[in-house]
């Protein structure tokens, strides 16, 4: 099965629901099970929240291009934005053995993204961040 969907989101938290809706529709059409879909939804929400909060000057609207691609058993979500460069792959994992009051603030969302997805890729191309989150899913539709 091959399916591709694109959408443009503004850097507003309310825009995340559009992506959730597209993922829900794609999951329903392809027969993707709830467990991997939940992990994907969590990862995209964490990623977009970070982009919306840290990549841009919040005084202006900016677009984030999102491309969903289901091919065979891999669902990939590509994000493209013109925000500040940030390679989430270089961000160290939080030390989860430390008591909560001793842990530095931040980084848990990135950790959750990496744990939820099977593959995370980052590139900086032409002044844009390009992040691809990939999850292997079983589909009921061949």
pTM of the complete model beyond 0.85: yes
Residue of 74, 73, 113, 75 lying closest to 91 (CA atoms): 113
Q: Which of 55, 63, 52 is nearest to 6 (CA)?
A: 63
d(C-alpha 56, C-alpha 20), whole Å:
22
Q: d(Cα 142, Cα 133) in Å, to the nearest integer?
A: 22
Q: Which of the listed CATH numbers 3.30.565.10, 3.90.76.10, 3.30.470.30, 1.10.3210.10 matches domain 2-136?
A: 3.30.565.10
pLDDT in tens, the chain (142 residues): 678 999 999 998 999 999 999 999 999 999 999 999 999 999 999 999 999 988 987 678 999 999 999 998 899 999 999 999 999 878 666 555 556 565 556 556 688 899 999 999 999 999 999 999 999 998 776 5
């Amino acid at each position: 099965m091959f399916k591709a969907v694109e959408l443009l989101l503004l850097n507003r938290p309310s825009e995340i629901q559009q992506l959730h809706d597209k993922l829900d529709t794609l999951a329903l059409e392809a027969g993707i099970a709830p467990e991997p879909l939940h992990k994907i939804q969590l990862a995209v929400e964490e990623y977009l929240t970070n982009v919306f909060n840290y990549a841009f000057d919040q005084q202006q609207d900016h677009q984030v291009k999102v491309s969903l691609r289901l091919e065979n058993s891999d669902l990939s979500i590509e994000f493209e934005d013109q925000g500040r460069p940030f390679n989430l792959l270089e961000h160290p994992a939080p030390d989860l053995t430390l008591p909560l009051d001793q842990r530095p603030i931040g980084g848990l969302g990135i950790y959750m993204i990496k744990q939820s997805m099977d593959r995370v890729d980052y590139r900086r191309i032409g002044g844009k961040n390009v992040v691809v989150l990939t999850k292997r899913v079983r589909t009921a539709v061949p």
